[in-house]
Structure 1
Amino acid sequence: MNKLKQKIKFLLIPILAFAGSTSFFVPAESIQIRVFAHLKISELHTIINLGTYQLLGDGVMIAECRPLMDFKLRVKGDSVEVWKNDILMGVFRYIKFVSDNGSELKLRLTNPDRKVRTYQDDLSFSVSEGFLRVINDIVLDNYIAGVTEAEAGSRSTLEFYKVQAILARTFALAHSDKHALEGFNLCDQVHCQAYYGKPRDENIYRAMEGTRGKVVVDENLNLITAAFHSNSGGQTANSEDVWGSRTTYLKSIIDTFSVKMPNSHWERRMLKDDWLSYLKLKHNFPVDKVQEKEAALNFTQNSRKIFLECNNSRVPLKNIRLDLQLKSTFFSVSQINKDTVLFTGRGYGHGLGMCQEGAMRMVKLGYSYTDVLNFYYQNIQLIDLHKLSFFKDE
């Protein structure tokens, strides 16, 4: 138990805080997310969508903001110009919109031009490497709601939203220090979690209520790596086969729920000479030998393999997938004429953890969100962080 307490404390301290004088850990008020992290932004508009904000410039209030008020922010050297109705309000190193409870702000990027997004809670702006850096300081569950829609889509079922919300919360808590050296917790790109602001589907908020505070832990009560992918092709993968590290919960299983879904099968054609040249030049696979050439032109996977191999030569399938930009490593190769080979593939993604399309199928058949989690992740437990005392004396 002491080891558990130390592990969870290490993972959660960046975004958890005490509630009053109790000994229980509960999610803190906010987590900091860098938004539009992939863009070089030099100008944008902020429009108050709901509630009121205080606009701070270098820590000093410069405006009380009401609905529909529009401010233009623009890079000026290493600072931010703030304009309202074509009137320059000032130039500041740091701008922050501080919200009342339930306030929302729309962001409309004008350089580069992008569609309007709505963000809840606080937003701050500064200049980094010559461009605007935008941080959404947001209540944790508001962030999880946005991630749930970004990762699951806006037309999913309530039960699937519950699954995605729990995994999003688990990931956020386990990786809250991913960008700590840059001054925020996570970004809005897929290597953290996709996040596009406030969700549109009201079912997501119902899913949040039904799963509030719940996270997934392994048999040692450590937060899991909440991996998921689009489609398993009928079989998920082992973590050691994809990432090189073994876990007790990311284990290969037969997944019949995924096989008739949209991304369960794919095909790709390639010139035979290009395929053989790629294997020889990139991976030193001896295709000039009869057996090795035959193995390369007639490679079959009825169940997931790790390598294309023959005798003492082998090529990791994950490298082939990356190099050739294939949908998955779960593919077979056959020669369909003297010049062409056909890749017949199954699934979409790395194959670890939850198959999203399989999970969608499961909930449509009446399975619960707990059924889904226990099917795709082995030896796990669902824990409510609000009720678990990590520091209570034994």
Structure 2
Amino acid sequence: MKLLKKITAATLMMIFLIVFTCYAQEDYSVRVRIRSPRLYNQQANLAGYDDITVYEEDEEIFTLGDNLSILIDSYYDGNYNFLTSAESGAAKYGAFHARLDGTYKSYDEAMDAADDFENTMNGDFYPYYNGRDYYVYAGNFKDKSSAGSFLGKLSGNGITSDVVYSDLENIVVFDNYSNIVFMYEKELDIRFSSIKGNENINLIKIDGRPYRGTMGFNIIEGTKLISINFVQLEDYLYGVVPNEIAASWGMESLKAQAVAARTYAVYSIRPNSSYGYDLEDNQNSQVYWGYSYEKPSTNKAVDETKGEMIYYDNKLIQAFYHSTSGGSTENSENVWTASLPYARGVKDEYSDKSGSPYNQWVKTYTKDEIIKKLNADGNSVTDLYGIQIKEVSENNRVMECIFLTDNGEISYKKENARLLLGLMSSWFKIENGSVFYFADKDSIQGTGDNLGVIPSRGILDNITEKKEESSGTKALSSGSVLGKYAVTSTGNKKIDKQKLAFISSEGVKIVDTNSTQYSFDGRGWGHGIGMSQYGAKEMAAEGFTYDEILKHYYTGVTIK
């Protein structure tokens, strides 16, 4: 206390400022690509709760009506269905325009001039903006000849103009009477929103679904119009958390999800993203369905953890999470490539006790269905002889899966195997009569139901050639039992029957060695890295706090 009394007020203020600077949360915003409920790549419909305000970045520049259609400046048929330039012969509307001489300082000035021209001429006149000046444009003509004819009419009325061609270079805004009311250069940061009066928040509907913040557009890959929601981080989380975790679950699990989702979002911010967005609204990033999907409980979880994120060694982590672990989470390098120190596999009895419907599952395919999947992925296969699991991780997930085909052995490693097969996780065993896994007694751990390290129930106790084991994984020898020899009371017998009986810990089993079906017997749902959401649910039910939940699933982290 004596020491504290000697510190001057100025020194105390300096310490306060340093601490505040270190821990104050930045007011983040994110850019989210909205794919759902987008129906077409070339157009979108906007609706406001009142007139729609148009922004350039964050600055209001003018207002339009409450219903708008956004299209790429290109070719369209009579119903405004998009046509490529190669299909322009069938177009009714196109990317040729008449640009009238003169520039204007604002949208309103350009719109007043456009209205004057419409009163003089029979045509559709509207403001165009290139980021510096406003012009008055006319028409969306299907070819240069049509545009030239209109220029002749303008000239006859003393109006000087020229033809411009801008296929796929501009974004066009129509009102609900199919009149163009604005066109702007595609590189500009133009956004749209409205105010929901009774709540005084910025909201905009795109194709009927409302989102907080503003909505902008960009043209990518030549002919694809994408919609981008510019939204404050905490508002974004309101639309994420209830779509990533059940809003009825315990508050501590909702808070854990909010912190993980916030961390993931900020980690994903890319100011120089070539496509103009940081996140997608689906499982490629985080599921985000906007304002109408918000729930009071999840909004509360976001509010009560405002600004809190997860750090390892004072650096923001990539906070992966998944539905159900199946009993253990996984090391990041066993699923993808990078070894992340905070993404270490942990035993997860909470997920097992959670009642998740995805703790155990079975998926069955015919041989032909698997051949079709292999060929869809760029292989050339006409027959499949078997599937072998060559390696599993210490956390039970498949590290390498071999498909034995008429075109040789085709290997899929780590997550690629489950993605090819459309399985819920990479923790699976394969049930097929003709393929067995040969193991010596030292490679089998546990008994009965605890034989989780061996990816099939068809195990023959056989002395095999010693295989090198990669760090933390178990290598298995496998193949068809047909053609092998069994030791019997009457001597060695070659196995050549289609159906065999085996005595196992589960009793006598009849196995069809000529099966054309493959059953994948698995556990969990998702990649298995980081937080198990069902595990978080169980931990919350058992009285753990959200920070304890996060520290269980992310190794060595701090929450601040």
1:205 maps to which of 299, 318, 335:
299
Aligned sequence identity (%): 25
Distance in 2 separating the partners of 1:213 and 1:365: 26
* Alignment correspondent of 2:254: 161
Displacement over 6 Å in runs of 4+:
57-60, 272-276, 297-302
Distance in 2 separating the partners of 1:333 and 1:29: 46
Distance in 2 separating the partners of 1:47 and 1:274: 44
* Alignment correspondent of 1:343: 520
User: What amino acid maps onto 2:555 in structure 1?
Assistant: Q
Question: 1:342–1:96: structure 2 CA closer, same or farther, 3 Å change rule?
Answer: closer
8 Å contact from structure 2 (residues 370, 421) kept in 1: no
Distance in 2 separating the partners of 1:308 and 1:44: 43
Bigger mean CA deviation after superposition, 324-333 or 89-98:
89-98
Aligned partner of residue 241 in structure 2, secondary structure: helix
Distance in 1 separating the partners of 2:401 and 2:278: 42
8 Å contact from structure 1 (residues 27, 140) kept in 2: no
Distance in 1 separating the partners of 2:397 and 2:528: 12
Count of equivalent residues: 341
Question: 1:89–1:316: structure 2 CA closer, same or farther, 3 Å change rule?
Answer: closer
Distance in 1 separating the partners of 2:367 and 2:281: 40
* Alignment correspondent of 1:241: 334
User: Alpha carbon RMSD of aligned pairs, Å?
Assistant: 3.9
8 Å contact from structure 2 (residues 392, 399) kept in 1: no
* Alignment correspondent of 2:181: 89
Return the offset for 1:156: 4.2
Return the offset for 1:103: 1.8
Return the offset for 1:232: 0.9
Within the alignment, does 1:49 sit opposite 2:224 as a pair? no
Q: Within 5 Å, which residues of 2 pair with 1:122-141?
A: 122-128=214-220, 129-141=222-234
Distance in 2 separating the partners of 1:300 and 1:98: 51
Within the alignment, does 1:362 sit opposite 2:539 as a pair? yes
Distance in 2 separating the partners of 1:30 and 1:307: 38
Distance in 1 separating the partners of 2:367 and 2:53: 64
User: What amino acid maps onto 1:242 in structure 2?
Assistant: V
Bigger mean CA deviation after superposition, 224-233 or 334-343:
334-343
Aligned partner of residue 550 in structure 2, secondary structure: helix
Q: Within 5 Å, which residues of 2 pair with 1:272-291?
A: none
Within the alignment, does 1:375 sit opposite 2:552 as a pair? yes
Distance in 1 separating the partners of 2:53 and 2:356: 48
* Alignment correspondent of 2:416: 319
Distance in 2 separating the partners of 1:62 and 1:361: 51
* Alignment correspondent of 1:74: 71
* Offset from partner CA, 1:220-251 (integer Å, 9 cap, x none): 11111111111111111111211232222211
8 Å contact from structure 1 (residues 73, 83) kept in 2: no
Give TM-score, length-normalised by structure 2: 0.53
* Offset from partner CA, 1:53-104 (integer Å, 9 cap, x none): 5235898834266xxx322333332321331455442333354225566121
Gaps of 5+ in 1: 1-18, 109-115, 384-394
8 Å contact from structure 2 (residues 54, 191) kept in 1: yes
8 Å contact from structure 2 (residues 194, 204) kept in 1: no
* Alignment correspondent of 1:26: 25
Question: 1:213–1:29: structure 2 CA closer, same or farther, 3 Å change rule?
Answer: closer
* Offset from partner CA, 1:34-69 (integer Å, 9 cap, x none): 22288643333322237x75235898834266xxx3
User: What amino acid maps onto 2:358 in structure 1?
Assistant: N
User: What amino acid maps onto 2:202 in structure 1?
Assistant: S
Distance in 2 separating the partners of 1:192 and 1:257: 25
Q: Within 5 Å, which residues of 2 pair with 1:132-281?
A: 132-153=225-246, 155-177=248-270, 180-198=273-291, 199-218=293-312, 220-259=313-352, 260-270=355-365
Distance in 2 separating the partners of 1:186 and 1:73: 22
Question: 1:308–1:63: structure 2 CA closer, same or farther, 3 Å change rule?
Answer: closer
* Offset from partner CA, 1:363-387 (integer Å, 9 cap, x none): 233322122112211111101xxxx
Higher relative contact order (CA 8 A, sep 6+): 1
* Alignment correspondent of 1:387: none
Gaps of 5+ in 2: 1-16, 75-169, 403-408, 434-510
Return the offset for 1:118: 0.8
8 Å contact from structure 2 (residues 392, 400) kept in 1: no
Give TM-score, length-normalised by structure 1: 0.73
Question: 1:179–1:171: structure 2 CA closer, same or farther, 3 Å change rule?
Answer: farther
8 Å contact from structure 1 (residues 235, 255) kept in 2: yes
Aligned partner of residue 27 in structure 1, secondary structure: coil
* Alignment correspondent of 1:107: 206
Distance in 1 separating the partners of 2:343 and 2:241: 21
8 Å contact from structure 1 (residues 179, 186) kept in 2: no
Bigger mean CA deviation after superposition, 367-376 or 301-310:
301-310
User: What amino acid maps onto 2:301 in structure 1?
Assistant: A
Return the offset for 1:357: 1.6
Distance in 2 separating the partners of 1:274 and 1:75: 40
Question: 1:299–1:333: structure 2 CA closer, same or farther, 3 Å change rule?
Answer: farther
Distance in 1 separating the partners of 2:326 and 2:290: 31
Aligned partner of residue 201 in structure 2, secondary structure: coil
Return the offset for 1:303: 5.2
